[in-house]
A and B are shown apart, each in its own frame.
Chain A
Amino acid sequence: MSRILVIAEHAAGKLNPSTAKVVACARAIGGEVEVAVLAADGAAVAAQCATLEGVSRVLQVDHPANEHPLAAVLAPQVAALAAGAGHVLGPSTTFGRDLMPRVAALVKAPQLSEVMAVESPRRFRRPVYAGNAVVTVEVAEGRQVVCTVRTASFEAVGSAAASAPVDQRSVEFSPPAHTRFVSVSAAASDRPDLQTAARVVSGGRALGSAEKFQLIYSLADKLGAAVGASRAAVDAGYAPNELQVGQTGKIISPTLYVAVGISGAIQHVTGMKDSGVIVAINKDAEAPIFEIADYGLVGDLFALLPEIETLLAS
Chain B
Amino acid sequence: MQKIMVCVKRVIDYNVRVRVKPDGSGVVTEGVKMSINPFDEIALEEALRLREQGAATEVIAISLGPDDTQQQLRTALAMGADRAILVRHDAQADPATAAAAFMALVSKEGAELVLLGKQAIDDDACQTGQRLAALWDRPQASAASKIEVVGQSLRVTREVDAGLEVNEIDLPGVVTVDLRLNEPRYVKLPDIMKAKKKPLEVTDLAALGVEMDEPVTVLKWEPPPQRTKGIMVKDAAELVSALKQKGLV
User: Would A185 and B164 be within 8 Å (CB), given that A132-B18, A293-B230, A308-B236 are in contact?
Assistant: yes
Contact partners of B215 in chain A: CB under 8 A: 110, 139-140, 143
Residue pair B216, A137 in contact (C-beta under 8 Å): yes
Query: What is the bound-complex CA distance between A93 and B237, given in angstroms?
Result: 37
Of A11, A95, A105, A184, which contacts B166 at CB under 8 A?
A184
Whether the pair B160, A105 counts as a contact (CB closer than 8 A) is no
Docked complex: A188-206 residues within 8 A CB-CB of B: 195, 199
- Which chain A residue has the least Cβ–Cβ distance from B223? A133
Q: Which of B75-83, B133-141, B192-200 contacts A (4 or more CB under 8 A)?
A: B133-141
Contact B232 A179 (CB under 8 A): no
The answer to whether residues A311 and B237 also contact, given A128-B124, A178-B139 and a CB cut-off of 8 A, is yes
Q: Report the minimum CB–CB distance from B28 to chain A (whole Å).
A: 10
Q: Contact mask A85-106 → B, CB, 8 Å, 1/0?
A: 0000000011101111111111
Q: Please tell me if the beta carbons of B142 and A97 are within 8 angstroms of each other in the complex.
A: yes
- Contact yes or no, B18 A182, CB < 8 A: no
Residue A169 at the B interface, CB < 8 A?
no
Report the minimum CB–CB distance from B97 to chain A (whole Å): 10
Contact A133 B236 (CB under 8 A): no
B161 touches A297 (CB 8 A): no
- Least CB distance from A202 to B in Å reads 16
Q: Name the interface size band of chain A.
A: 35 or more
Q: Is the CB of B163 within 8 A of A187?
A: yes
Q: Is B33 an interface residue (CB 8 A)?
A: no
A238 at the interface (CB under 8 A from B): no
Known contacts being A106-B134, A248-B119, is A134 close to B224, with CB within 8 Å? yes
Residue of B nearest to A111 (CB): B127
**CB pair B131 A94 closer than 8 Å:** no
Q: How far is the CA of A144 from the CA of B195 in the complex (A)?
A: 44
Q: A72-B139, A128-B123, A143-B215 are in contact. Are A184 and B230 (CB under 8 A)?
A: no
Say yes or no: is B90 at the interface (Cβ < 8 Å to chain A). no
- Cα distance A299–B234 in the bound complex, in angstroms: 9
What 1/0 mask marks residues of chain B from 215 to 235 whose CB sits below 8 Å from any chain A CB? 111111111110101111101
Cβ of A137 and Cβ of B17 under 8 Å apart? no
- Closest Cβ–Cβ distance, residue B41 to chain A (whole Å): 14
Complex interface: chain A residues within 8 A of B178 (CB): 248
Tell me if B239 is interfacial: C-beta within 8 Å of chain A.
Answer: yes
Smallest Cβ distance from B11 to chain A, in angstroms?
9
A181 interface residue per 8 A CB criterion: yes
Q: Is the CB of B122 within 8 A of A128?
A: yes
Q: Contacts of B162 on A, CB cut-off 8 Å?
A: 11, 184-186, 242
Find chain B residues with CB under 8 A from A307 CB.
236
Let me know if B165 is at the binding interface, CB within 8 A: yes
A71-126 contacts to B (CB < 8 Å): 71-72, 75, 93-95, 97-106, 108, 110-114, 123
In the assembled complex, the CB of B145 is this many whole angstroms from the nearest CB of chain A, namely 7
A299, B236: Cα distance in complex, Å = 9
| B96 and A179 within 8 A (CB) | no
Question: A102-B131, A304-B236 given as contacts; is B170 within 8 A of A247 (CB)?
Answer: no
Instruction: Say whether chain A's binding surface is mostly helix, strand, loop, or mixed.
Output: mixed
Residues in A whose Cβ lies below 8 Å from that of B119: 248
Given A11-B162, A98-B142; A292-B229 close (CB under 8 Å): yes
Contact between A105 and B134 (Cβ–Cβ < 8 Å)?
Answer: yes
Q: Contact between A295 and B217 (Cβ–Cβ < 8 Å)?
A: no
A279 — which chain B residues lie within 8 A by C-beta? 239, 243
- Picked from B96, B124, B230, the residue with its CB within 8 Å of the CB of A113 is B124
Task: Tell me whether A44 is interfacial, beta carbon within 8 Å.
Answer: no
A256 at the interface (CB under 8 A from B): yes
With a cutoff of 8 Å between Cβ atoms, the chain B residues found around residue A133 in the complex are 18, 20, 27, 221-224
User: How many whole Å from A259's CB to the nearest CB in chain B?
Assistant: 13
> Is B173 interfacial (CB 8 A cutoff)?
yes
Decide: A241 and B222 in contact? CB cutoff 8 A. Answer: no
CB contacts (< 8 Å) of B170 on chain A: these are 177-179
* Cβ contact within 8 Å between A312 and B249: yes
By beta carbon, the residue of chain A nearest B171 is A178
Verify if B23 is at the interface (C-beta below 8 Å from A): no
Residues of A within 8 A of B139 (CB): 72, 176, 178-179
Contact residue among A95, A101, A139 (Cβ-Cβ distance under 8 Å from B131): A101
Is A155 an interface residue when CB atoms closer than 8 A count as contact? no
| Chain B, range 34-71, C-beta contacts under 8 Å to A | none
15 CB-based A-B contacts, threshold 8 Å? A94-B161, A105-B132, A105-B135, A113-B127, A132-B223, A181-B167, A183-B165, A184-B163, A223-B249, A234-B180, A256-B249, A279-B239, A295-B233, A304-B236, A308-B240
Give residues in B with beta carbon < 8 Å to A. Answer: 12, 17-20, 27, 94-96, 99, 118-119, 121-135, 138-143, 145, 155, 158-170, 173, 178-180, 213-225, 227, 229-233, 235-237, 239-240, 242-243, 246, 248-249
Q: A140-B216, A247-B121 are in contact. List 11 more A-B contacts (CB 8 A).
A: A110-B216, A129-B121, A132-B223, A134-B221, A137-B219, A180-B167, A180-B169, A277-B246, A278-B227, A293-B230, A299-B235
